[in-house]
Chain A
Amino acid sequence: MTDDDSRWPKAHGSGPLLLGVRHHGPGSARAVRTALDAARPAAVLIEGPPEADALIPLAADPDLRPPVALLAHAVDEPGRSAFWPFAEFSPEWVAIRWALAHGVPAHFIDLPAAHTLAWEEKKEKEKDQDQGDADDGRGSGEQVRIDPLAALAEAAGHDDPERWWEDVVEHRGPGERDPFAPFAALEEAMGALRERYGVGGHSRDLVREAHMRLRLRAARKESGDEVAVVCGAWHVPALREKTTVTADRSLLKGLPKVKADLTWVPWTHRRLARSSGYGAGIDSPGWYGHLFHAPDRPVERWLTKVARLLREEDRIVSSAHVIEAVRLAETLAALRGRPLPGLGETTDAVRAVMGEGSDVPLALVHDRLVVGDVLGEVPESAPAVPLQRDLARQQRSLRLKPEALERELELDLRGDTDAGRSRLLHRLRLLGVGWGEPARSRGSTGTFRETWRLRWEPELSVRVAEAGVWGTTVLGAAQARAEADATAAGTLADVTALAEQCLLAGLPDALPVVMRVLADRAALDADVGHLAQALPALVRSLRYGDVRGTDTGALAGVAAGLAERIFVGLPPACTALDTDAAAEMRAHVDAVHTAVGLLTETLAAAGAGGSAGSGADEHAGAGAGESAGETGGPGTGAGAGERAGVGGPAGPGAGADQGVGVDARGGGGAGVVGAGDPGADAGARAGVGAGGVGLVRAGRGDLRDRWRAVLRTLSSRDSVPGVLRGRAVRLLLDNGELGSDEAARLMGLALSPGTPPADAAAWIEGFVGGGGGLLLVHDERLLALVDSWLTGVSADAFTDVLPLLRRTFAAYEPGVRRTLGELVRRGPGDRSAGRAAPGAMTPGFAAEPDTERADAVLPVLRLLLGLTDPTDRDRTDRDRTERDTADHDTADHDTADRDPTDHDTADHETAERKAVRGETAQQETAPRSSAERAPVRRGPTECEPPARGISGTGTPEAGIPGMGKAETRTAEPGTAERAGCQAAGPGTSGCDRTGPGTSGCDTRGCGAAEDSSLAGVGV
């Protein structure tokens, strides 16, 4: 270097060295480095928030690797933040590193972030479009603003300011003779512009520049005149300007202020494209980085890089390609009048020479090289990111401490705190911060209970820091992440799962994006498997959204559309499947079946909700005769378990649980049970009376009927694998669509000797697999069919079907298996044998009810309930004698006159049929009831908690609604999956009946088996 006098640029006289740059310009960065090396200033001032001065030394830390950003955020409100990103090729970064390497003090001189952030707030309030600190006006919506580059480019006769700037500044190779000449030229140009346009609409610049001048003065006082300033070229003339301290001070007076915190955060090349802070907005950080780093021949090096990338991806690209691409790029640049091929030329060359005209490899090049996957790093010593703060704040307010010890957390979503906790955990999960993992809660999904397994691992802090790129608050970050995930999601099921997560995490703002992606994907996905996978989550979201009062109208539309498409596509998709595919499809069929049930309920609830305004009125639809109802509210006391509790506020959701459909058989009966709190009662009735009911019913029936039609098609089509046919028949049977006669006929067909044994075994698996054992236990005709088929199978074939059968039957609970075994030993269907040898009977399977044993319980019950009504018992006894055996001899006193074969198949899915039966029973017993108790309001409630049988008859006298005369007996553990819970009584104010038909109130699936039995017995 030369001596001092010539070192300091004479052009600037004795003033400070003002280096006007373009933020993130590699050419500018190079020029800044050269100029600093040549001038060796005593201090370096950089455009940036002065609060970050303390953070500058961190830049020397080898662990701080650009791209990084200075993040300023308001302390009280982490969501309000500003970023100043730095890439390796940013002139500001180069200046910082230069200062640190040469032991020269570096300072930020821009307006403090405290003011900038306060401005932001003001801006938001004013709904001003002004972008605050976008330096050179790009991305600004204000019309009076001018883009200095555009003005200069226009003067130079270029239409594209970016390209012009690249040509004259950024692409200028190294080796300029005078390192200061470009800055001088630029300053002159900007000076002319500022003269012509003033501040050009950047009104805040005046204030910022005043601050910069003040800081500059302070630095000059400290370090003399040999101070270098690196700032946006636009500001250079203003810094050169002679103003008085007082003038500058007065400009800065009275600025709004917030308490701001600053820190380094890791940044990515991708995010450099986001305009904020320095107004980065550069779309080719990778290319800029290349320009900055390439010592010479940037085009050749770049194209070689591209060639290598394409080769890695198995595309044949030879050196000859590179040569031709370079030639083309250079000729193109000449044709376009550019000094050097830019990104545009090289891209065109890559497309034409290496990519065979296709944009696909180009997309790869763009993604990997032009943008690049560079992720910055920040040392641990850097202050915490705001997301972490926001998280800490929420943890405090929700009283949810991060603990390393694993623990379970039960949440009751009805409470505000618990709901908040749930949302927080869901949001963190979305962000990849796996603090809590949802555990299986005792209730089913979508109810108001959630169980989480919490464990805070140290690396979760890192995850939080990483998630910091998505936003500064948990909410904002989760939202951004969900939107990004939706766009990038691979399969339809992913998107629906995401939609569900959005609802769970309470991200209504992200939902529209997800919904849009979902609608697009669903419209284009043709794979029934995918659609079927997607539907359940979607329906769950729908239901959940309902519970939360989220607007899920769009979701409902998509779900209904999805269901329709599944209906259309399923039958063809079920043919010609191998065993594995069939098993998979069976799972799909089951999932769709459940989903359709929920969907119809939910849609109906949504439809009827408007007319009656009560959640309970959804039962109106059920009034078509299938008599599904729900006892809700205090009406049934704890008997309805959790469901009762949720009855009022969460009516639609709870109701959706039922999965009980409409059947034409119900006819005009329209027995309706409205359920809910007593208060909602009237509303329920209103709902029933309203004209909207018909509509609702039609809507539900429509979807469900079509699903049934699909199942029928499946069940009768020979090309459909046995397991699916069997399953379809089973589902129809459970829905009451098929009579058990018909089912037996179909079973007979499937098991007829002509059918290959393997196929028949698969049919059986489909039909009675997965907890269907009770069906066989209770319908001995079916068991007899299986039995006779099995004994008829030839020895060879038997070996073949054995694994399949074993798989089917091994899945049953031990009790069921034993019962089945005993039944088979006795000989299924052989009733006379059963009667002849009662001693050999399985308990609970007597041909006749054991009245003595039943009676033995009655005194206790009477005592409990304070009843003295022997007539009732007599009747009951008489009724009972007409019945066939019961699995656990529950005192189903109120039912009567059953078809022996049709009785008491108390299986989970057979509730509808039971409900129908309950109806007949109800009619039968109604006179007695009316004789006994004044206004008849009764509806048997059947619920199936495992292994308990309850029968309760509500009594007004008792004053405790829902408590009933009940007989219970504990069945063989596992023998019964079901406990009939029948409650009837005028006291059950939640149950109302209108119309000629009566209704069965169904509270099955409530997952509160113990609760309800306790209620039935003990209250």
Chain B
Amino acid sequence: MSAMSASVRPTTAEPTDDESASESAQALRPHAEQAFAAELASLAAQDDRPRPARWKLSPWAVATYLLGGTLPDGTVITPKYVGPRRIVEVAVTTLATDRALLLLGVPGTAKTWVSEHLAAAVSGDSTLLVQGTAGTPEEAIRYGWNYARLLAHGPSRDALVPSPVMRAMAEGMTARVEELTRIPADVQDTLITILSEKTLPIPELGQEVQAVRGFNLIATANDRDRGVNDLSSALRRRFNTVVLPLPESADAEVDIVTRRVEQIGRSLDLPAAPDGIEEIRRVVTVFRELRDGITADGRTKLKSPSGTLSTAEAISVVTNGLALSAHFGDGVLRPGDVAAGILGAVVRDPAADRVVWQEYLETVVREREGWTDFYRACREVSA
């Protein structure tokens, strides 16, 4: 058990009921396998399809877990990922074919979210995680040493501190690497042996760790800043790539935002706003229109700001607005509550984006029926 998971786990009894009230009271954000333990359990119970070695569920059940559905016994599986079915199917299949999976997408397209839930559903554990940063060392991917032990007893397996990847290999689990492209190129390439030979040599001991069946790796990378540390083609070749798109339709996006806002709001104990859907729709519309560079009716072309305006940002804008209205307003999500958030999300570059925003405000928002309050609120915060 790694130190990290050890610090969390003891405090949380295995959640058995759907609510898992005790848990949410303790952890700010429970792991996927904890939050959806009940769903996973009933899926496992009713899954009669063949499961690949060490998989907790069959690929079909994993797909169902992510996309949602109703089980034969009536258990409703909530959709974790709202988007094309094809993407989830390709992702699950990739994991089943022992190829590593690379989830690409602009920020806020649920890459991490999908990877966490995939790991939770496949291996029942989403915590074997390497967070990629510019400073991620090789040890984070291969192994480190417990130096006290090393000095005292010399090199041995006991003195070795395995990385999450190494543990996943040994136990036949799913490892996750977040923000793969942020990791320096030479460190990235340590993954090549792991992915092609499925083995991790430990030259210091003259040993190696061979991956057990069931091992696989999910990496996520942001394709907006691809240039950071582009993957070598050798490494890239080891991955099947799935690009997570931005939500296709406005309704789908509203759905995602509402769902997530509700979940977050619950975990933050924010009072539910009764009329939020109107504002959520508005936020999503603004984001979509600016992102796509065209109004929803397809009539007017717009300039796009430099920010990504992802769904995740829309979620945070709405959550923010909810918090504002709950604590400082009348508890109802009003245009004023989201205006500042939207402004912050849209105007990333103070010069260029502000022009874009002003143009949008004056040419689109002002003209739109029923958006007068919103327009006023935006004018107020923009001024």
Contacts and interface: CB of A to CB of B under 8 A. Distances in A.
Interface of A: 316, 318, 320-321, 324, 327-328, 331-332, 335-336, 344, 348-349, 351-353, 355-359, 520, 523-524
A621 B237 CA distance: 69
Contacts of B365: none
B104 to A, nearest CB: 5
B94 A335 contact: no
A308 to B, nearest CB: 18
B89 interface: yes
B117 interface: no
Given A316-B233, A318-B237, A357-B104, A331 B96 contact: yes
Contacts of B89: 332, 335-336, 348
29 contacts: A318-B237, A320-B237, A324-B97, A327-B97, A327-B99, A328-B97, A328-B99, A328-B240, A331-B97, A332-B93, A335-B63, A335-B92, A335-B93, A335-B96, A344-B86, A348-B89, A348-B90, A351-B241, A352-B241, A352-B242, A353-B240, A355-B241, A356-B104, A357-B102, A357-B104, A357-B242, A357-B243, A359-B243, A520-B301
Nearest to B60: A335
Contacts of B86: 344, 348
Contacts of B93: 328, 331-332, 335
Contacts of A524: 301
Contacts of B59: 335
B63 A356 contact: no
Contact of A352 (B60, B94, B233, B301): B94
Nearest to A358: B243
B379 interface: no
Majority DSSP secondary structure for residues of A touching B: helix
B60, B96, B237, B301: which has the most chain A beta carbons within 10 Å? B237
B224 interface: no
Nearest to B105: A357
B236 interface: yes
Given A324-B240, A327-B99, A328-B90, 20 more contacts: A316-B233, A328-B93, A328-B97, A328-B99, A331-B93, A331-B97, A335-B92, A335-B93, A344-B86, A349-B90, A351-B90, A351-B241, A352-B94, A353-B241, A355-B241, A357-B104, A357-B241, A357-B242, A359-B243, A524-B301
Given A316-B233, A335-B63, A348-B90, A356 B241 contact: yes
Contacts of B90: 328, 332, 348-349, 351-352
Contacts of A327: 97, 99
Nearest to B99: A324
Nearest first, the 7 closest Cβ-Cβ pairs linking A and B are A357-B241, A357-B243, A352-B240, A523-B301, A331-B93, A356-B241, A332-B93
Contacts of A520: 301
Nearest to B62: A335
Interface in B102-145: 102, 104
Contacts of B94: 328, 352
Nearest to A327: B97
A522 to B, nearest CB: 10
Given A332-B89, A332-B90, A348-B89, A356 B96 contact: no
A359 B86 CA distance: 14
Interface in B63-108: 63, 86, 89-90, 92-94, 96-97, 99, 102, 104
Interface in B221-247: 233, 236-237, 240-243
A329 to B, nearest CB: 9
A567 B97 CA distance: 59
Interface residues of B, number: 22
A446 B288 CA distance: 44
Nearest to A355: B241
B153 to A, nearest CB: 43
Interface of B: 59-60, 63, 86, 89-90, 92-94, 96-97, 99, 102, 104, 233, 236-237, 240-243, 301
The prevalent SS among residues of B at the interface is: helix
Nearest to B240: A352
A321 to B, nearest CB: 7
A346 to B, nearest CB: 12
A45 B96 CA distance: 50
A332 B96 CA distance: 10
Contacts of A357: 102, 104, 241-243
Contacts of A328: 90, 93-94, 97, 99, 240
A318 B233 CA distance: 11
A359 B105 CA distance: 13
Contacts of A356: 104, 236, 241
B65 to A, nearest CB: 14
A359 B90 CA distance: 15
A358 to B, nearest CB: 7
Contacts of B97: 324, 327-328, 331
A457 B94 CA distance: 59
A593 B237 CA distance: 56
B253 to A, nearest CB: 20
A160 to B, nearest CB: 12
B246 to A, nearest CB: 13
A348 B97 CA distance: 14
Contacts of B243: 351, 357-359
B159 to A, nearest CB: 38
B90 to A, nearest CB: 5
A732 B98 CA distance: 73
A327 B240 CA distance: 11
A318 B63 CA distance: 30
A355 B240 CA distance: 9
Contacts of B236: 356
A321 B233 CA distance: 12
A331 B101 CA distance: 15
Contacts of B233: 316
Nearest to A522: B301
Contacts of B240: 324, 328, 352-353
Q: Which of A335, A336, A523 has the most CB of B within 10 A?
A: A335
Nearest to A332: B93
Nearest to B233: A316
A359 B301 CA distance: 24
Nearest to B86: A348
A352 B99 CA distance: 11
A328 B97 CA distance: 7
Nearest to A359: B243
A336 B59 CA distance: 10
Contacts of A523: 301
A524 B301 CA distance: 8
A353 to B, nearest CB: 5
A1003 to B, nearest CB: 42
A157 B240 CA distance: 31
A336 to B, nearest CB: 6
Contacts of B92: 335
A513 to B, nearest CB: 15
B27 to A, nearest CB: 33
B63, B93, B94 — most chain A CB neighbours (10 Å): B93
A346 B63 CA distance: 19
A353 B99 CA distance: 10
Contacts of A335: 59-60, 63, 89, 92-93, 96
Contacts of A331: 93, 96-97
Contacts of A344: 86
Contacts of A332: 89-90, 93
Contacts of A359: 243
A512 to B, nearest CB: 14
Nearest to A333: B93
Most buried by B among A331, A523, A524: A331
A473 B241 CA distance: 48
Nearest to A523: B301
Contacts of A353: 99, 240-241
Given A328-B97, A328-B99, A321 B237 contact: yes
In this complex, which of B63, B89, B102, B104 has the most chain A Cβ atoms within 10 angstroms of its Cβ? B89
